[in-house]
Structure 1
């Protein structure tokens, strides 16, 4: 019964790690521009995420290493520093997007500009990291993310074309603007396959001292939790496809448009449900990204690290998440549009995926680290294919999108 409760808690709190500003923004953009036709990107990205999250937990249980520990130990300082630099840069961009999401949610609720909320929001994230424990962050804050289930509920209050939706989980070739289509698909894959999630998950397994009895729960949490989060993200895309094109909106230009997504189903309360969902999920994601940043730096350089320890016992670890939050805060204070930051950072995330995934796959096939718990050919093939797809799409579409404005 204890294991069942742990799995159930792990599944529902996975929403806080999976669903955040990247998924909300990219799903809304995709639905407005291309209807249901990009649902396949969420399906493909979720399959890859399930494999990678399960592998992250399995690696930690079998080897007693975190991912970054393993990369440094197996490949040496050069590969480690390259992986760390890429992951840290991407984490900073994602953290900026999450702070922007929290600030925008507060703007919707109060009417004050998001720039005024950026500093208080960042301070709240830092204070909880400074004073809180891993369990509080993982279970307490993330559990609040269940408010986002309102996106699924909204589908049942509207005339949802279920049979039509079911036909859009396969890519289509008849697209008017393949460049933009590819860019949005890339952003979706980057939002779903977030590297910080794997670093955070493997570190959490070590923090919570998972032993070999957790192989089964780990598999269940990865599969059910990521699927649960993906269903909510897909619901956002479906709502956007049902609401925006009939209103003549084919390009979502700001979160102000996205904020009205739930009003057709819930009336004026839909606006507040959206603001609450955005703020809570972004707050949970900001905590996890900040911790993931501190984890990878501290683990890579051999410093003391643990969210459960007091800051004076691991000062370098605490300094990393403090500095990261301060750096990520700057673009939001400068007034840069959080939606543009989010979409761009998700595309950059897709471009960065091979830098962390390739050495991780090597580790997962090395019996010195995982013994008999290594990967099978199905897991290896699926991850390689999806990571290669995301990388190729980003190589093709990202430079042209930047040059085209």
Structure 2
């Protein structure tokens, strides 16, 4: 009788030592084996927010500034891409952790922690940056299609592309199909850049020397434009929203870093460096100055594609521009809606109106400056994005250090160090841009 009573009251088996328990080493083996079983396929499912940010970076502004850097200064500015990519990884990582920890959204947490007006400033800051990016996207989409259909007006194609994006925003069912097609187009261009990087027979020793920081005379505006597109703090800021939307957890953070954050940001950095290398090998050695249009830039694909290179370049450039138009206006509208307290969703009326305004702004600037060089217009628009970037970078760093919000995901000292380096860099470039514009 007592034996039965003992068996009925005996506690259930749990890991540890004593009755019915297993050793700690056995438990560790079980846990690690379970983690191993999920690493491949389930880690692939974690890919998303950082790759979206990276794809957003690799738009027409990025391509234009990189190709201009190679054609004007050879390999000298490759170091800008390396440094900005490293800094972008750390800011994006902070944003991912914020997306995991914030209860509603990053701007909502900023309002609660630092004050409502600070959250409003942050939301409007991202909105203003997306306005600058909209110019490059609008110009790039029009120029790309006008090269595909010679003799047609780039402005006409810009208007058509803008109307198409507006339609996609309201007819969400077709967005997934369009996105996949455009990703395939951009992937084709990426492959061509990699192949051209070897087929154009660049001076790899000179390219290696480009890792040493130097500032050629007259290159400051282009450097600021390169940083504005590669150290895209607004894209890093918005990554927290993608992370929150996918309901990522602290337990998934390490895997997210390995399969999404690091490769998602490194990939466009490598592609941009290759763009500079190809442009330097094909255009710089021939004495080609900054092209007034895009016709000269199409020569970068001639080493592997001949006359078809122009068509490949135009198709890829259009794909990069058009695919960037969509996330750019969605992010800007969402940030505006969240800043005004209307909800952190692209489906709110405020977000839709904000997205529409971003598209219209791109058309307006394209029409106003239709007689100027599209290359110069895109470079200037990308450079202007650094004016508000320091505010966003500072907010990301401050919020990532909030002990109450972040818990064990709070910034470590070395993360703060690199974050501060990035903050100082964009602040200095912003001051330099203002001085340059005032002097001009």
Same fold (TM over 0.5): yes
Q: Offset of 1:116 from its aligned partner?
A: 0.8
Paired position in structure 2 for 1:186: 224
**Mapped pair 1:378 → 2:414:** yes
**Mapped pair 1:121 → 2:161:** yes
Out of 107, 110, 130, which is 2:146 matched to?
Answer: 107
Native 8 Å contact 2:49 2:242 kept in 1 = no
Following the alignment from structure 1 to structure 2, what is the Cα–Cα distance between the partners of residues 119 and 394?
31
Secondary structure at the counterpart of residue 251 of structure 1: coil
Distance 1:71 1:14, change over 3 A: closer
Native 8 Å contact 2:60 2:320 kept in 1 = yes
> Relative contact order (C-alpha < 8 Å, sep 6+): which is higher?
1
Deviation by residue 1:180-223 (Cα, 9 ceiling, x = unmatched)? 22222111111112233123322112222222343123212111
**Aligned Cα root-mean-square deviation (Å):** 2.4
Out of 401, 426, 437, which is 1:390 matched to?
Answer: 426
Q: Offset of 1:402 from its aligned partner?
A: 5.9
Distance 1:249 1:36, change over 3 A: same
Deviation by residue 1:125-164 (Cα, 9 ceiling, x = unmatched)? 1111222269838963663332232211211222122233
Moved more, 112-121 or 262-271: 262-271
Native 8 Å contact 2:168 2:174 kept in 1 = no
Q: Offset of 1:324 from its aligned partner?
A: 2.0
Q: Structure 2: any 5+ residue segments left out of the alignment?
A: 1-39
Paired position in structure 2 for 1:161: 203
Paired position in structure 1 for 2:25: none
Native 8 Å contact 2:60 2:136 kept in 1 = yes
Paired position in structure 1 for 2:364: 330
Out of 323, 335, 345, which is 1:306 matched to?
Answer: 345
Distance 1:168 1:337, change over 3 A: closer
Secondary structure at the counterpart of residue 260 of structure 1: helix
Q: Offset of 1:381 from its aligned partner?
A: 1.4
Native 8 Å contact 1:44 1:386 kept in 2 = no
Following the alignment from structure 2 to structure 1, what is the Cα–Cα distance between the partners of residues 251 and 315?
37
Distance 1:304 1:387, change over 3 A: closer
Out of 43, 47, 55, which is 2:94 matched to?
Answer: 55
Paired position in structure 2 for 1:208: 246
Paired position in structure 2 for 1:88: 127
Paired position in structure 1 for 2:187: 146
Q: How many residues align?
A: 395
Following the alignment from structure 1 to structure 2, what is the Cα–Cα distance between the partners of residues 97 and 379?
32
Native 8 Å contact 2:188 2:316 kept in 1 = yes
Following the alignment from structure 1 to structure 2, what is the Cα–Cα distance between the partners of residues 164 and 338?
29
Following the alignment from structure 1 to structure 2, what is the Cα–Cα distance between the partners of residues 349 and 254?
22
Q: Offset of 1:397 from its aligned partner?
A: 4.4
**Mapped pair 1:295 → 2:329:** no
Native 8 Å contact 1:347 1:398 kept in 2 = no
Following the alignment from structure 1 to structure 2, what is the Cα–Cα distance between the partners of residues 81 and 138?
33
Paired position in structure 1 for 2:311: 272
Moved more, 198-207 or 277-286: 198-207
Following the alignment from structure 1 to structure 2, what is the Cα–Cα distance between the partners of residues 130 and 322?
11
Native 8 Å contact 1:15 1:142 kept in 2 = no
Native 8 Å contact 1:13 1:138 kept in 2 = no
Distance 1:8 1:204, change over 3 A: closer
**Mapped pair 1:225 → 2:264:** yes
Following the alignment from structure 1 to structure 2, what is the Cα–Cα distance between the partners of residues 26 and 53?
22
Distance 1:299 1:394, change over 3 A: closer
Q: Offset of 1:287 from its aligned partner?
A: 0.9
Native 8 Å contact 1:148 1:232 kept in 2 = no
Following the alignment from structure 2 to structure 1, what is the Cα–Cα distance between the partners of residues 284 and 404?
54
Following the alignment from structure 2 to structure 1, what is the Cα–Cα distance between the partners of residues 208 and 88?
21
Native 8 Å contact 1:13 1:143 kept in 2 = no
Larger radius of gyration: 2
Native 8 Å contact 1:147 1:276 kept in 2 = no
TM-score, structure 2 normalization: 0.83
Native 8 Å contact 1:262 1:270 kept in 2 = yes
Deviation by residue 1:82-102 (Cα, 9 ceiling, x = unmatched)? 333333222111112111111
Following the alignment from structure 2 to structure 1, what is the Cα–Cα distance between the partners of residues 307 and 178?
31
Paired position in structure 1 for 2:18: none
Q: Offset of 1:305 from its aligned partner?
A: 4.3
Q: Offset of 1:59 from its aligned partner?
A: 0.7
Q: Structure 1: any 5+ residue segments left out of the alignment?
A: none
Paired position in structure 1 for 2:391: 355
Native 8 Å contact 2:49 2:243 kept in 1 = no
